Amino acid sequence: MARIPLSPPRTLFFRVIEWYSKRAYGKVLDPALALGHNARVLRADLRFERAVATWNRLDRDLKALAVMASAVSIGCGWCLDFGYWESTRHGMDERKLRDVPVWRDSDVYTPLERDVLEYAEAMTASPPTVGDELAERLRRELGEAAFVELTAMVAVENLRSRMNAALGLTSQGFRDHCELQPR
């Protein structure tokens, strides 16, 4: 259950956000409803997310795996629900998304995908546990620009997942039943 009412003041700015969210996603996203209690935070978040959406040096599927691995590690049910829906909408293999919580035991991932999942988990640990060998493998395989983007995406998802989890946001029903569960 959300730790803040999902009924922010209905300012003109927020009504525009509602309209856009319904048009883009079919419903108003719970994080927007929560952040809507502070218009400056919501505006900053929207500007930031628009900038993040322009990053294009890292393969979309690798990015999705890194985001989902971070969300699983943190335990953000909302992020898992939305991330699964968004990634499948863009054509990602559902088996790879479903197996993120048990990626070490799954046979659906390439060696590079396994490194990305391990890196996302290691970055998300408190404190981070990223090893030099793993980072160097990824830097060599991806190239420096994509490696930086991978690192930034994991950090962005940590922000999203930690904020959503702390606010008590859970699955919003983007899937009838999200098979991915936080640890």
**Two structure tokens written together for 140:** 């060599």
**Two structure tokens written together for 114:** 């396994």
Give the mean pLDDT of the chain. 94
Strand, coil or helix: 33: helix
Using the predicted structure, report yes or no on whether residue 115 has a pLDDT greater than 70: yes
**Two structure tokens written together for 53:** 């959406």
Nearest CA-CA partner of 17 in 79, 1, 38? 38
Q: List, for residues 69-84, the tens digit of each pLDDT value.
A: 999 999 999 999 999 9
**Residues whose CB falls within 8 Å of the CB of residue 103, separated by 6 or more in sequence, listed in order:** 69, 109, 114, 117
Is the link from the previous residue into 127 a cis peptide, with omega within 30 of 0? yes
By the 8 A CB rule, do 87 and 68 touch? yes
CA distances from 162 to 10, 14, 131, 135 (A): 26, 23, 23, 24
Query: What is the spatial distance between Cα 72 and Cα 59, in angstroms, rounded to a whole number?
Result: 20
Average pLDDT over residues 144-167: 98
Alpha helices of 59-143 — where are they, by DSSP H? 60-74, 77-89, 94-98, 111-124, 132-142
Using the predicted structure, report yes or no on whether residue 148 has a pLDDT greater than 60: yes
Confidence of residue 179 (pLDDT cuts 50, 70, 90): low
Using the predicted structure, report yes or no on whether residue 17 has a pLDDT greater than 50: yes
Nearest CA-CA partner of 93 in 64, 66, 131? 64
Query: What is the spatial distance between Cα 12 and Cα 156, in angstroms, rounded to a whole number?
Result: 28
**pLDDT value for 177:** 46
Using the predicted structure, report yes or no on whether residue 104 has a pLDDT greater than 80: yes
Confidence of residue 174 (pLDDT cuts 50, 70, 90): confident
Average pLDDT over residues 61-66: 98
